[in-house]
Structure 1
C-alpha cells in the first residue's frame, strides 16, 4: 500500500506541474467530461492512423464512441470539437466528403497526450518497479497502440466515468481535479479503521483560484459544496487556515486513481503484444525488445 500511495502521489505531482507549466492547454480539459472527450478524440485519431479503415475524428464518430456512457450530448460534442479546432488541438483531415467534418490531431495534441501517458507509466513503475516508461522511450510508437486501448477501457468502466459523489463534487468543475490532487497528495496510507478527519495544513480557496487561474467565486463555490458534504473543513469558521479532509474522500480518490492506473497498465500490456504481432506477423511470438511482461 505504501508503494501504491507513493506512485499515485508522484503521478499527481507531475500532473500538477503540467497544469502550472501549461495552464491554457490543461484548463481546456480540466473537468472530467472534457477530459473523457479529449481522450476518446485522440483515440479515434490514433486508431485511424494505424488503420485508415477505422473512423477518423468527427462529431458523429465521437458521439458513437461514447454513446453507452452518456457523458455528453450531441450539442456538447459539436461544441467541444469546434473548440478543439479553435485552439489547434485538431485540424481538418482531407476528405472527399466534406460533410463528414473529419479531423486529425495536431502535433501539439500528440505531445500533450504523450506527456500525460508517460506520467502514468512512471507512476506505475514506482508502484511495482516496472520498466514501462523506459520501454516507451525505446519504442515511442507504443503510444498510438496503447492510448486508444486506455480510452476504450475507461469508457467500459463506470467506476471511472461515473465516480463517487465525493470525487464528482470536484471533477465536474474546471480545475477541480487539480485541486483534489493537491488536497490528497500528502496524505499517508490510511488504516481500514481510520475515521477521524485528516489535517493537511493551511488551505485557502483564494490561493487555489490564483494558482489554477479560476475565479474566486468558482473556487469558493467548489470548496463550499465540499464543506457542506463533510469532505473538507477548517479549524476556524472561515474557509482558510488549518484544514482537514475526510478519510472517505482519500479512499475514494485512491480507488478512482487505481481504476485509471489499472487501465493504463492493461492498455500498455496489450499494446506491446499488438505491436509485436504487427511486426513479426505471428500472434504467438513477441519481440525481445518489447517484452509483454512489462505491462
Structure 2
C-alpha cells in the first residue's frame, strides 16, 4: 500500500479506506467481467450497487458519489460508443489498470514471502492470471463479513480516509515480532512525518492514534523532550494479522483458481 501511494497517491487514497476499497475492487471486477458484445455491461452505478448492497457495504448515494469521484480524478472514463440514455457504462483508465496491477503484484509478493512460492514469476509470465483472479478475490472478500467488518481496533483506522495506509505504515515499524510483556515496540513513528508524507493534517493523524490509544491498542509514553516510546498491544497486532490473513487466503485461492483454469484451457487446446 505504501508503494502504491508513492506512485499513485490518488488511487491509493481510494483503497486506503475500507468502504472505498470494497467499492474499488467491486468496480474493477465488474470491468473485467464486461462482455465486449454488450456495450451496456461493465461498470455502472446500478451494477456496482447491486454487487455490494446485499452486504450493506455502501449505500446508493455512496456508490454514486464514489463513481463521480473516480470520474473527477480521471480514474475511469465513459466507454467509447455508448449511446444509452438510461445507463452510463464506464471503464478504468490506464492509470487505474497500472495501479490495480501493482497492488495485486504486491499481494502476490507478500504471499511468496510467506511460503517461498513463485506467484510473482508466474504472474509476470502470464498477466491473464491477474485478470481472472481479481474478480474471484473481490467477490469472496466483499461477501466475507470478517474482512468487510474488521474488529474495532482495525476499523478505527481503516474506516477513515488514509487510515489503511497509516495502519500499514505503523505495523511496518514493529521492532520485536514476539511481544514482550504483552507489547510490541514501534520505532521511527513521528506524527509530523506521517502528516507530511501522506499530505494529511497533523490533527487527523493524532486523532487516529488517539482513538487507538483510547481503545488500548497502543500506548504512547512520553520521554525526554519530544521523544516518545510507542508500544502496540499484542492483541491489536493479532487482530491485524487475522484480518490480513482473510485477505491473503482469498487472494491465494483466487490465484490458484485462475492458474487452474488457464492450465485446463491450455490442456484442452493441445488435445484438440
User: TM-score, normalising length from structure 2?
Assistant: 0.90
- Which segments of 5 or more consecutive residues in structure 1 lack a partner in the other structure? 1-14, 287-295
Q: 1:154 to 1:201 in 2, by over 3 A?
A: same
Shift of 1:23: 2.1
Equivalent residue, structure 1, for 2:134: 147
Structure 2: distance between partners of 1:49 and 1:106: 18
Equivalent residue, structure 2, for 1:271: 258
- Which segments of 5 or more consecutive residues in structure 2 lack a partner in the other structure? none
Matched, 1:86 2:97: no
Matched, 1:246 2:233: yes
Contact 1:202 1:240 in 2 (8 A): no
Paired residues, number? 268
Contact 2:39 2:89 in 1 (8 A): no
Q: 1:202 to 1:111 in 2, by over 3 A?
A: closer
Shift of 1:206: 2.5
Matched, 1:69 2:55: yes
Structure 1: distance between partners of 2:104 and 2:261: 18
Equivalent residue, structure 2, for 1:226: 212
Structure 2: distance between partners of 1:152 and 1:75: 21
Contact 1:204 1:240 in 2 (8 A): no
1:114 to 95, 101, 113: 101
Matched, 1:204 2:190: yes
Equivalent residue, structure 2, for 1:236: 222
Structure 2: distance between partners of 1:227 and 1:213: 23
Matched, 1:34 2:39: no
Contact 1:31 1:171 in 2 (8 A): yes
Shift of 1:229: 0.8
Structure 2: distance between partners of 1:183 and 1:127: 20
Compare relative contact order (CA 8 Å, sep 6+) and give the higher one, 1 or 2: 1
The residue matched to 2:182 in structure 1 has which SS? coil
Render the CA deviation track for 1:118-166: whole Å, top value 9, x for unaligned.
0011111111111111111111122111111110110121110100111
Equivalent residue, structure 2, for 1:3: none
Equivalent residue, structure 1, for 2:91: 104
Shift of 1:240: 6.0
Contact 1:201 1:241 in 2 (8 A): no
The residue matched to 1:66 in structure 2 has which SS? helix
Structure 1: distance between partners of 2:182 and 2:142: 34
The residue matched to 1:173 in structure 2 has which SS? coil
Structure 2: distance between partners of 1:167 and 1:89: 28
2:3 to 17, 23, 27: 17
Q: 1:96 to 1:221 in 2, by over 3 A?
A: same
Contact 1:205 1:223 in 2 (8 A): no
Q: 1:198 to 1:170 in 2, by over 3 A?
A: same
Render the CA deviation track for 1:191-246: whole Å, top value 9, x for unaligned.
7xx65232213533232111211111211211111111111121129996211111
RMSD: 2.4
User: TM-score, normalising length from structure 1?
Assistant: 0.83
Question: Mean alpha-carbon deviation: is it higher for 50-59 or for 124-133?
Answer: 50-59
The residue matched to 1:88 in structure 2 has which SS? coil
Contact 1:84 1:90 in 2 (8 A): yes
Shift of 1:51: 7.9
Structure 2: distance between partners of 1:123 and 1:224: 30
